[in-house]
Amino acid sequence: MVLDSRLSKNSNALVALSGGVDSSFALSLAIGGYRNVRAGYVDTDGRGIPASAEEVADFLGVQLVRLDASERFKTDVIDWSQDMLLKGLTPNPCVRCNERIKLRMLYEILEPSEVLVTGHYSRKQGDLVRRGSDNSKDQSYFLSMVDSRIISRCVFPLGYLTKEQVRSEAVAGGLPFRKDESMDLCFELLVDREKPGKILNTFGEVIGTHQGIESYTIGQRKGFGAFGRRMYVVAIDPVSGTVTVGDREDLLSTACTVGSMNWFRKPSGSCIEAKVQTRHRRRAATADLEILNDSIQVKFKEPEEAVAPGQVCAVYLDTAVIGGGIITAAERLERKL
């Protein structure tokens, strides 16, 4: 089993523990690799440490610290996400939570001799994050907005393993982890400011009504079966309160602008070719990048689908994440009628 080179009996570790199989197994690996180990649970809903996390910590004989993140989570993730939706944008609360809450709060209590161990399926090379070996579980995209100072202290022991290996070895070791999988979203957005509006087609014709733009995101197709064919959300206008739907081809973009850049390794040149990933479930696409002060201009080699303002765009060189930012605008492909 290949682990980070900093696994050493001469250093200590703080392990992010949720009680699920990934964080539980990461904790068990850390115990075998570090001199002193403790665990931290980031409590985002104020309900306290779940029984599954306590059972794992007790089973492995480590101290478990609770960090109360309920207020920060509400302000920096839930309220922020709701505000984005009301503006017709597509937020990524999971990336935001890693950036502002979970990893940051654990980093804030790190002792000088400690590294921060997490159960992310990602790898490290120096201070760069690389894709995990298990492509189906790779979580490097979710780390693209995390402060480089935090990343420099992180260790990802599951990066060279598959999910099947982790679960099998955790079961074999008798770890009492929570059996159900964590969802991508650890909360539900409860926006109570719904304002009805019109649904338009790409010609600007009214074809229906909706109960609030915050219920829609670019690329969404669920709920449009009544129109007789597959329809997708292609635009959201918060000023007029309209949602525009169209065909899949109407989702294609040739370019986008990405702001609020977080660089792990900013390119020295002003123009480079790189891979960009505009959603967690999307493949990385080849693009030409123009590097500006706090933003980049992305021109896709081939039209890219469902590029949504508000979403995160992660930039890769080979398998390494060199930065990430927030999509502020997308240039749609003009369809020939």
> Residue 23, SS3?
helix
For 297, other C-beta atoms within 10 Å of its C-beta total: 17
> Residue 71, SS3?
helix
Pairwise CA distance, residues 302 & 253, whole Å: 9
Q: Which two tokens stand for residue 203?
A: 């010609």
For 318, other C-beta atoms within 10 Å of its C-beta total: 9
Q: Which two tokens stand for residue 79?
A: 């309220």
Q: Using an 8 Å Cβ cutoff, are 276 and 316 in contact?
A: yes
- Which residues pair with residue 179 across a beta bridge? none
Among 85, 103, 105, residue whose Cα is nearest residue 152: 103
Pairwise CA distance, residues 302 & 299, whole Å: 9
Known catalytic residue at 186: yes
> Residue 158, SS3?
coil
Cα of 163 vs its chain's centroid, Å = 18
Q: Which two tokens stand for residue 39?
A: 């665990």
Known catalytic residue at 256: no
Catalytic residue among 94, 97, 154, 256: 97
Among 326, 327, 314, residue whose Cα is nearest residue 143: 314
Q: Using an 8 Å Cβ cutoff, are 70 and 77 in contact?
A: no
| Contacts for 228 with CB less than 8 Å, ≥ 6 apart | none
Tell me the C-alpha to C-alpha distance, in Å, between residue 105 and each of 34, 122, 320: 21, 20, 25
Catalytic residue set: 97, 186
